[in-house]
Chain A
């Protein structure tokens, strides 16, 4: 986005595209930091509790629903189950690029850029579908 492209919108003074992107970039870093902290906290608990168990990931067995559905993960994290806490941190991480698209949508909406509000909404809808209902 260049400032000249945003310039056709009139009214209240707006943030430049670049300033908006900078804010979005910072928010993403904070998102990654928070999710990393959650993952590390859950990970320490997981390794203390199960560190001595044999690790066999050579053949695939799908994760149980407590670790593969958003509801199960949130309930497990609330019970302070270490696996669910790690998984909750990973879900937060997967959500950061989705947040980025959502914030980009807000930026386009502020600029009254209908075409890109439409395009961004489509991308956002696909991402939300994948995260919430993606058993396709």
Chain B
């Protein structure tokens, strides 16, 4: 008999065929591997595919899915940290300053998640998926580094420089307060949906604060793990983290991300991006439909 929360098995089991713990682990690990692989190849991270995979395809409760996904987000963020640091682009002061907003946002998100209906979460998730698909097709053309710093950025010593082919390139930071506000939203969304919300973080840093694109993405990686850790701690206490679900998700996403990072340097990933975008759009429609019809 399985101990813990599942000791009294389900009233619903007669409706759908019941997998064993082992089969479920194998299916989830395989799906999470693909999610981690595609997440690494596209830079979106695996979390955004893991939650729909678990809920829509495998009918796992949204809370278990969010708990497992946050764990995998932390694994990929921390696992990739050394590689990002080697590149020398991240801005730790910007990261830690904005972490104030994302961490508070994550704790607020975790606190309100219990009272938000899952149908609303499904719709929010669908919107995030569609936005991610859209961002993937927008070119990431780098804007010239800003030279007009926000006075607050100067005060907080956020302006810095980053390595380019032509030596160290100084850059200024703009829009500190709007960026800070967007980061709060990123934190709330991360906790509510169990994703890294890297797209919102890059949007805040790249578009609003005018950081160079590479600085935005590497700093975002640093922040994603910290934000996810804030809500994962709360969800652990609330019993959202089920070992039998989180185990295959973590191992699957982590190995997928490692293989993806290898492939990224060798393979042509254009067709994979197109495939991934198609997957994301289909999942978005599913989440929107399930959310709107109250089937989540």
Contact = CB atoms under 8 A, between A and B. Distances in A.
Same complex: yes
Contacts, number: 256
A58 to B, nearest CB: 5
A123 B230 CA distance: 9
Q: Which 3 A-B pairs have the closest CB atoms?
A: A62-B239, A51-B22, A130-B233
B254 interface: yes
Contact of A63 (B1, B222, B239): B239
B6 A47 contact: no
B146 interface: no
A25 B21 contact: no
Contacts of B81: 24-25, 28-29, 100
Interface of A: 1-2, 5, 17-18, 21-22, 24-26, 28-29, 31-32, 35-36, 39-40, 42-43, 46-47, 50-64, 66-69, 82-83, 86-87, 90-91, 93-98, 100-101, 104, 115-116, 119-120, 122-123, 126-127, 129-136
A51 B29 CA distance: 14
Interface residues of B, number: 83
SS of B interface (majority): helix
A8 B23 CA distance: 59
Given A97-B229, A100-B226, A130-B233, A135 B238 contact: yes
B264 interface: no
B242 interface: yes
Give the dominant DSSP class at A's interface. helix
A94 B20 contact: no
Contacts of A131: 229, 233, 236
Contact of B22 (A2, A47, A82, A119): A47
7 contacts: A53-B6, A55-B19, A57-B242, A63-B239, A101-B99, A130-B106, A134-B236
